């Protein structure tokens, strides 16, 4: 059901999405209460609901100026602040809430937001890593634990999930999303929303979620954070928006807009994105928060001449809450009084904010999430560590395993655990780690020590440092390590060991916001260490801990075994050890390709064919003259300790009608010697369209666990809905014609069949 009201030319929709009803965001009783409140509110109090401050300089943004805290507290007492971010802990949130509820005229509770991205206290793998599990249920479970912990610490709202499709690993924020693919990204987006929000936002183990960054932030030119985006409506609708729509359909309570412009319009000022699509077409009933100061940033963008104009453009375009630009609190009431902004637009924004506060139960008890005893108990729950270990193992991707070097035998006499990340107890926590305790992760060294019998000697050598001095990634010199003094000891440890585990990759803070790089290879002296260790001992397993795909260069060709463990969270060391020793057979698959060279970026398996797809190499074909087009490890790639054989896929009919469905089946056999789990992937290609279509698009996957020698037929069902896209006519529909279907264990190695749609 959707009712769209128009104020001037602006659509203010009051809508009910399927999921929204389930979250209780819109219901007649609440709408009545909101009507009653709105009737009592002054314009200043209304604007206050749309005003969000950070409690202190925390993760991002400029530090507060002197007196900032005091001024903010005064405004809270006057009911001029609707939300605070970066306040956490049962006690602190209670105190902060008291300021509003005990002093302001209408006693409207504030909503407290925090970036709870991959855990609150207990950290799970960074989101990109988690997506490698291809396990929506596990991902949902991890978001629920994060929500449970955050809710017990007084947090009502997370700025997650980030659902930006990212195809350029230079962009440091690739770490925060689910990778390059639209289908996987949409499933993960919905899973995270369900995990954070559950079916009842007022429950004490759920918090409101936020789909961000709306939209196309992941398409920043040259992978440089905050940079310009210039994509077509076609790419916007077919690639960028589906995960956001999936989040909306899962009932996500809020959206965050994005720093970038698209085609000359900053997202924050885009009525097309926020009003027409989100609140209009999709009938989204929740609210949109700006990104940090993004309303004010429309000035340097060259889209608004001053903060007042920025406030006007943002509110009219549908940005409901102002995060830290202080534009609304300064100018919005005046703009309404001057007749430059229709008060109905403000009322609609306030209504949206209040809906979420009601749904969270804050009007029943503004302190319900701020319970110190529950906080203590929930944060100490041992089940959370066990869950984190489980998700971390599911996320690990085996990239190479020559000669069956892995799994290692536990009885091995001497293991050398080498590398800058081997004993690191902090980096596995990753960036955007909310309230994790610094240095609290299980290191790889500890994980290995705990896994082996007393008879195994575990030798440790750091070799080189990952970065210089302080981990200040705003300073480019952080990568200029020159200290080689630890290399001889590492070489000696490797030489005398039966097996070497070499932990290299990226520091926790090397990915995330503002962490773009032109070079995504091993930084510092890491490759020198890798070469020296491999020369000393060929039985070396390279364990990568990263927040992005890397270019592995020499290492890819020369290391016999490579494991991508990401920044794996609080239990990373145990999870990696589980995989190294075969207690867990890896089944993770890459959610984003590992390029051969940074010059290939941006890249995706779901590229277009071009008019000159050609053989490679070929001078007048669309290929590089100095390197193949394809990545080193493609999307969907990941090995197991066993092998899987795929039959040719079969389709149930050569042709289907618009209302029909097609079954695509293939038999998968475990052709190796161990039980293992395979992610069987289904891809489709629409050969001719009113707009050109990608050479492959993921349309389904199934995880199958098979004993050695066992085989199983896996069947996928496709309908016209699965083949739909945003056509040249501006419709979301499937077009008749010929299709290919592909089944395989990654996006490159597939077997194909075909059918047509009538
Ligand atoms: C980031 C958002 C984040 C916000 C609040 C911004 O700089 O882009 O993703 O939620 O800060 O910390």
> 476 pLDDT band (50/70/90 cuts)?
confident
The pLDDT value recorded for residue 19 is 46
Separation of 665 CA from ligand 1 center, angstroms? 44
733 sits in which H/E element: strand 732-733
Angle at the Cα of 259 from the Cα atoms of 254 and 260, rounded to 5 degrees: 120
Mean of pLDDT values over 101-109: 98
Structure tokens at 366: 């503004």
Separation of 566 CA from ligand 1 center, angstroms? 22
- The strands making up 676-686's β-sheet, listed across from edge to edge, are 655-656, 750-757, 737-744, 676-686, 697-706
Structure tokens at 129: 């890593």
Judge whether residue 565 has pLDDT over 90. yes
Q: Measured from the CA of 59, which atom of ligand 1 is nearest?
A: 12
Nearest alpha carbon to residue 451 among 573, 333, 623, 337:
573
Residue with the bigger pLDDT between 470 and 82: it is 82
Nearest alpha carbon to residue 668 among 710, 699, 637:
710
Q: Which ranges of 198-303 would DSSP assign to H, the alpha helix?
A: 233-235, 241-249, 271
The pLDDT value recorded for residue 619 is 74
What residue's CA is closest to ligand 1, atom 11? Answer: 292
Judge whether residue 617 has pLDDT over 80. no
Whole-prediction pTM: 0.96
- Name residues whose C-beta falls within 8 Å of residue 540's C-beta, 6 or more positions apart in sequence: 494, 499, 500, 501, 502, 533, 534, 559, 560, 561
Pocket probe mutation, ligand 1, options 54, 55, 87, 159, max atoms within 8 Å of Cβ: 159
* Beta-carbon-side half-sphere exposure of residue 668 (alpha carbons within 13 Å): 25
Q: Measured from the CA of 176, which atom of ligand 1 is nearest?
A: 9
* Beta-carbon-side half-sphere exposure of residue 681 (alpha carbons within 13 Å): 28
Pocket probe mutation, ligand 1, options 513, 515, 516, max atoms within 8 Å of Cβ: 513
Separation of 134 CA from ligand 1 center, angstroms? 26
pLDDT tens digits, residue range 150-175? 999 999 999 999 999 999 999 999 99
Q: Measured from the CA of 210, which atom of ligand 1 is nearest?
A: 10
Residue 74: other Cβ atoms inside 10 A: 14
Judge whether residue 18 has pLDDT over 90. no
Separation of 127 CA from ligand 1 center, angstroms? 15
Judge whether residue 237 has pLDDT over 60. yes
> 363 pLDDT band (50/70/90 cuts)?
very high
What proportion of the chain, given as a percentage, has pLDDT over 90?
91
Mean of pLDDT values over 509-514: 96
Structure tokens at 439: 């240095």
Mean of pLDDT values over 561-569: 99
Separation of 287 CA from ligand 1 center, angstroms? 16
Q: Measured from the CA of 217, which atom of ligand 1 is nearest?
A: 8
Question: Where is average pLDDT lowest: 18-22, 36-40, 176-180?
Answer: 18-22
Separation of 292 CA from ligand 1 center, angstroms? 6
Judge whether residue 215 has pLDDT over 80. yes
Q: Measured from the CA of 159, which atom of ligand 1 is nearest?
A: 10
Separation of 159 CA from ligand 1 center, angstroms? 7
> 60 pLDDT band (50/70/90 cuts)?
very low
Q: What distances in angstroms separate CA 626 from CA 423, 566, 599, 615, 748, one per listed residue?
A: 39, 30, 11, 14, 21
Judge whether residue 658 has pLDDT over 60. yes
Judge whether residue 139 has pLDDT over 50. yes
DSSP 439: T
The pLDDT value recorded for residue 12 is 57
Pocket probe mutation, ligand 1, options 53, 60, 217, 267, max atoms within 8 Å of Cβ: 60
The pLDDT value recorded for residue 514 is 96
The CA distance from 592 to 176, in Å, is 12
Q: Active site residue: 168, 291, 426, 578, which one?
A: 291
Judge whether residue 1 has pLDDT over 50. no
The pLDDT value recorded for residue 464 is 98
What residue's CA is closest to ligand 1, atom 8? Answer: 291
What residue's CA is closest to ligand 1, atom 4? Answer: 292
The question of whether 320 is a catalytic residue gets the answer no
Judge whether residue 503 has pLDDT over 90. yes
Residue with the bigger pLDDT between 24 and 311: it is 311
pLDDT tens digits, residue range 66-104? 577 788 989 999 999 999 999 999 999 999 999 999 999
The pLDDT value recorded for residue 130 is 98
Mean of pLDDT values over 262-268: 98
The pLDDT value recorded for residue 616 is 67
The pLDDT value recorded for residue 65 is 55
Judge whether residue 271 has pLDDT over 50. yes
Residue with the bigger pLDDT between 462 and 56: it is 462
Separation of 301 CA from ligand 1 center, angstroms? 18
The pLDDT value recorded for residue 39 is 98
Separation of 59 CA from ligand 1 center, angstroms? 8
pLDDT tens digits, residue range 385-431? 999 999 999 999 999 999 999 999 988 999 999 999 999 999 999 99
Q: Measured from the CA of 162, which atom of ligand 1 is nearest?
A: 9
Nearest alpha carbon to residue 668 among 752, 745, 755:
745
Length of the chain counted residue by residue: 758
The pLDDT value recorded for residue 61 is 44
Mean of pLDDT values over 590-606: 98
The pLDDT value recorded for residue 620 is 84
Helix (H, G, I), strand (E, B) or coil at 500: strand
Pocket probe mutation, ligand 1, options 55, 61, 115, max atoms within 8 Å of Cβ: 115
Nearest alpha carbon to residue 419 among 459, 364, 472, 469:
459
Please report the beta strands in 358-496, taking only residues with DSSP state E, as ranges in sequence order.
397-401, 414-418, 457-461
What residue's CA is closest to ligand 1, atom 10? Answer: 159
Mean of pLDDT values over 431-449: 98
What residue's CA is closest to ligand 1, atom 5? Answer: 292
The pLDDT value recorded for residue 162 is 98
pLDDT tens digits, residue range 567-594? 999 999 999 999 999 999 999 999 999 9
Pocket probe mutation, ligand 1, options 53, 55, 57, 59, max atoms within 8 Å of Cβ: 59
The pLDDT value recorded for residue 69 is 78
The pLDDT value recorded for residue 71 is 86
What residue's CA is closest to ligand 1, atom 6? Answer: 292
The pLDDT value recorded for residue 56 is 65
Judge whether residue 473 has pLDDT over 90. no
Residue with the bigger pLDDT between 299 and 19: it is 299
The pLDDT value recorded for residue 20 is 45
What residue's CA is closest to ligand 1, atom 2? Answer: 291
Q: Measured from the CA of 86, which atom of ligand 1 is nearest?
A: 12
The pLDDT value recorded for residue 57 is 41
The phi, psi pair for 43, rounded to 5°, reads -65, -35
Ligand 1 site: residues with CB under 6 angstroms? Answer: 59-60, 85, 115, 159, 212, 291-292, 513
Largest CA distance in the chain: 80
Mean pLDDT of the chain: 95
Separation of 512 CA from ligand 1 center, angstroms? 10
Strand 750-757 versus strand 655-656 pairing type: parallel
Q: Measured from the CA of 160, which atom of ligand 1 is nearest?
A: 10
């Amino acid at each position: 059901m959707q009712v769209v009201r128009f104020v001037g030319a602006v659509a203010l929709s009051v809508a009910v999405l399927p999921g929204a009803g389930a979250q209780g965001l819109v219901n007649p009783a609440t709408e009545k209460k909101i009507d009653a409140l709105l009737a009592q509110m002054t314009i200043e109090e209304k604007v206050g609901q749309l005003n969000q401050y950070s409690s202190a300089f925390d993760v991002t943004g400029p530090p507060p100026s002197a007196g900032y805290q005091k001024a903010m507290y005064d405004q809270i007492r006057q009911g001029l602040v609707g939300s605070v971010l970066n306040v956490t802990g049962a006690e602190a949130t209670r105190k902060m809430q008291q300021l509003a509820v005990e002093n302001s005229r209408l006693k409207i509770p504030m909503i407290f937001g925090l970036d709870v991205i991959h855990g609150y206290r207990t950290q799970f793998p960074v989101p990109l890593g988690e997506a490698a599990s291809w396990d929506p249920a596990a991902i949902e479970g991890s978001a629920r634990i994060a929500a449970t912990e955050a809710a017990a610490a007084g947090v009502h709202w997370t700025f997650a999930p980030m659902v930006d499709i990212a195809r350029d690993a230079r962009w440091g924020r690739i770490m925060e999303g689910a990778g390059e693919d639209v289908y996987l990204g949409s499933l993960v987006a919905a899973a995270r929303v369900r995990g954070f929000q559950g079916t009842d936002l007022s429950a004490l183990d759920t918090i409101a979620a936020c789909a961000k960054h709306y939209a196309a932030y992941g398409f920043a030119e040259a992978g440089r954070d905050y940079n310009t985006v210039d994509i077509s409506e076609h790419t916007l609708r077919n690639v960028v928006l589906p995960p956001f729509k999936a989040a909306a359909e899962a009932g996500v309570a809020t959206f965050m807009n994005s720093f970038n412009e698209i085609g000359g319009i900053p997202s924050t000022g885009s009525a097309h994105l926020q009003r027409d699509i989100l609140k209009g077409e999709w009938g989204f009933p929740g609210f949109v928060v700006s990104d940090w100061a993004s309303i004010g940033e429309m000035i340097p963008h060259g889209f608004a001449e001053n903060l007042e104009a920025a406030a006007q453009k943002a509110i009219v375009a549908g940005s409901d809450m102002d995060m830290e630009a202080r534009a609304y609190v300064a100018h919005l009431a005046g703009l309404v009084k001057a007749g430059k902004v229709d008060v109905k637009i403000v009322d609609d924004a306030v209504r949206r904010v209040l809906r979420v506060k009601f749904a969270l139960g804050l009007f029943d008890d503004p302190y319900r999430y701020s319970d110190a005893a529950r906080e203590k108990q929930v944060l100490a729950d041992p089940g959370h560590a066990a869950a984190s270990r489980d998700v971390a193992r599911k996320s690990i991707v085996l990239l190479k395993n020559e000669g069956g070097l892995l799994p290692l035998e536990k009885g091995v006499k001497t293991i050398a655990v080498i590398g800058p990340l081997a004993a690191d107890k902090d980096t596995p926590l990753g960036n955007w780690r909310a309230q994790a305790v610094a240095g609290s992760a299980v290191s790889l060294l500890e994980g290995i020590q705990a896994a082996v019998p007393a008879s195994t000697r575990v030798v440790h050598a750091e070799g080189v440092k990952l970065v210089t001095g302080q981990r200040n990634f705003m300073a480019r010199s952080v990568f200029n390590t020159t200290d080689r003094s630890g290399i001889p000891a590492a070489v000696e440890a490797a030489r005398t060991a039966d097996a070497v585990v070499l932990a290299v990759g990226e520091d926790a803070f090397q990915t995330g916001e503002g962490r773009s790089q032109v070079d995504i290879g091993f930084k510092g002296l890491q490759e020198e260490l890798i070469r020296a260790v491999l020369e000393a001992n060929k039985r070396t397993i390279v364990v990568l801990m990263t927040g992005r795909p890397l270019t592995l260069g020499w290492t890819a060709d020369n290391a016999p075994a490579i494991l991508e463990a990401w920044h794996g969270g609080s239990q990373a060391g145990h999870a990696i050890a589980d995989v190294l020793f075969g207690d867990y057979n890896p089944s993770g698959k890459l959610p984003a390709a590992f390029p051969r060279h940074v010059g290939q970026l941006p890249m995706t398996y779901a590229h277009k064919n071009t008019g000159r797809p050609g053989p490679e190499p070929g001078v007048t074909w669309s290929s590089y003259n100095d390197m193949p087009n394809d990545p080193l490890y493609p999307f969907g790639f990941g090995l197991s300790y066993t092998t899987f054989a795929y039959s040719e896929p079969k389709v149930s009919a050569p042709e289907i009608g618009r209302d029909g469905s097609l079954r695509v089946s293939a038999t998968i056999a475990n052709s190796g010697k161990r039980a293992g789990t395979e992610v069987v992937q289904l891809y489709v290609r629409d050969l001719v369209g009113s707009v050109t279509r990608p050479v492959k698009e993921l349309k389904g996957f199934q995880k199958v666990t098979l004993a050695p020698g066992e085989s199983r037929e896996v069947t996928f069902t496709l309908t016209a809905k699965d083949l739909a896209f945003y056509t040249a006519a501006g419709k979301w529909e499937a077009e008749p014609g010929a299709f290919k279907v592909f089944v395989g264990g990654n996006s490159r190695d597939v077997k194909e069949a075909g059918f047509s749609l009538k």
